[in-house]
Amino acid sequence: MKAAVRERYGPPEVVEVREVATPTPKDDEVLVRVHAASVNRADLDYLGPRPGFIRPLIGMRAPRDPRMGIDVAGVVESVGADVTGFHAGDRV
Protein backbone atom coordinates (compact mmCIF):
# COMPACT_ATOMS: atom_id res chain seq x y z
CA MET A 1 0.00 0.00 0.00
CA LYS A 2 1.07 3.61 -0.35
CA ALA A 3 1.40 5.99 2.59
CA ALA A 4 2.48 9.57 3.19
CA VAL A 5 5.43 9.43 5.60
CA ARG A 6 8.11 11.69 6.99
CA GLU A 7 11.20 10.67 8.92
CA ARG A 8 12.28 14.12 10.10
CA TYR A 9 10.77 17.45 11.00
CA GLY A 10 10.82 20.21 8.41
CA PRO A 11 8.91 21.88 5.60
CA PRO A 12 6.22 20.06 3.58
CA GLU A 13 8.95 18.73 1.25
CA VAL A 14 10.00 16.19 3.94
CA VAL A 15 6.77 14.24 3.30
CA GLU A 16 7.11 11.39 0.79
CA VAL A 17 4.59 8.96 -0.65
CA ARG A 18 6.10 5.46 -0.34
CA GLU A 19 5.12 1.86 -0.72
CA VAL A 20 4.81 0.33 2.79
CA ALA A 21 3.69 -3.02 4.17
CA THR A 22 -0.04 -3.29 4.81
CA PRO A 23 -0.54 -3.09 8.58
CA THR A 24 -2.52 -5.59 10.63
CA PRO A 25 -4.92 -3.88 13.05
CA LYS A 26 -4.30 -4.42 16.77
CA ASP A 27 -7.15 -5.63 18.97
CA ASP A 28 -8.65 -2.16 19.34
CA GLU A 29 -7.91 -0.83 15.83
CA VAL A 30 -9.61 -0.66 12.44
CA LEU A 31 -7.85 -0.86 9.06
CA VAL A 32 -9.43 1.46 6.47
CA ARG A 33 -8.83 1.47 2.72
CA VAL A 34 -8.65 5.20 2.11
CA HIS A 35 -10.63 6.62 -0.79
CA ALA A 36 -10.17 10.29 0.09
CA ALA A 37 -7.92 12.25 2.44
CA SER A 38 -7.37 15.87 3.34
CA VAL A 39 -4.58 18.03 4.68
CA ASN A 40 -5.51 20.19 7.64
CA ARG A 41 -3.85 22.43 10.21
CA ALA A 42 -2.98 19.47 12.50
CA ASP A 43 -0.99 17.82 9.69
CA LEU A 44 0.95 21.02 9.12
CA ASP A 45 1.61 21.49 12.84
CA TYR A 46 3.20 18.03 13.11
CA LEU A 47 5.69 18.73 10.30
CA GLY A 48 7.68 20.99 12.62
CA PRO A 49 5.90 20.95 15.98
CA ARG A 50 5.64 24.21 17.81
CA PRO A 51 5.54 24.81 20.70
CA GLY A 52 8.44 22.60 21.68
CA PHE A 53 6.70 21.10 24.73
CA ILE A 54 4.84 18.70 22.43
CA ARG A 55 8.05 17.09 21.13
CA PRO A 56 8.45 14.76 24.15
CA LEU A 57 5.07 13.29 23.18
CA ILE A 58 5.67 12.85 19.44
CA GLY A 59 9.48 12.54 19.28
CA MET A 60 12.33 14.82 20.28
CA ARG A 61 14.63 14.73 17.23
CA ALA A 62 12.41 12.90 14.76
CA PRO A 63 8.77 11.76 14.69
CA ARG A 64 8.12 8.47 16.53
CA ASP A 65 5.37 7.67 14.06
CA PRO A 66 6.35 8.51 10.47
CA ARG A 67 2.79 8.27 9.13
CA MET A 68 0.89 11.41 8.18
CA GLY A 69 -2.78 12.29 8.05
CA ILE A 70 -5.76 12.10 10.36
CA ASP A 71 -8.76 12.99 8.13
CA VAL A 72 -9.76 10.16 5.81
CA ALA A 73 -12.80 8.52 4.26
CA GLY A 74 -12.97 4.98 2.95
CA VAL A 75 -14.08 1.41 3.59
CA VAL A 76 -13.19 -0.78 6.58
CA GLU A 77 -10.88 -3.59 5.41
CA SER A 78 -10.51 -5.44 8.71
CA VAL A 79 -11.05 -4.94 12.43
CA GLY A 80 -9.23 -5.99 15.59
CA ALA A 81 -10.63 -8.59 17.99
CA ASP A 82 -12.02 -6.02 20.46
CA VAL A 83 -13.75 -3.79 17.90
CA THR A 84 -17.54 -4.02 18.02
CA GLY A 85 -18.74 -0.83 16.31
CA PHE A 86 -17.36 -1.51 12.83
CA HIS A 87 -17.27 -4.43 10.42
CA ALA A 88 -15.38 -5.14 7.20
CA GLY A 89 -17.15 -3.37 4.34
CA ASP A 90 -18.49 -0.47 6.44
CA ARG A 91 -18.11 2.94 4.84
CA VAL A 92 -16.40 5.40 7.17
**Confidence bin at 87 (pLDDT 50/70/90):** very high
Tell me what the mean pLDDT of segment 36-55 comes to: 82
User: What backbone phi and psi angles, to 5 degrees, belong to 81?
Assistant: -60, -30
CA distance 79 to 88: 7
The alpha-carbon radius of gyration of the chain (Å, integer) is 15
Q: In whole numbers, what is the pLDDT of the chain averaged over residues?
A: 91
Tell me what the mean pLDDT of segment 37-52 comes to: 81
Note the pLDDT of residue 82: 97
Domain ranges of the chain: 2-79
DSSP string, 62-81: S-SS-B----EEEEEEEE-T
Tell me what the mean pLDDT of segment 15-21 comes to: 94
Tell me what the mean pLDDT of segment 24-41 comes to: 94
User: What backbone phi and psi angles, to 5 degrees, belong to 91?
Assistant: -85, 130
CA distance 85 to 57: 29
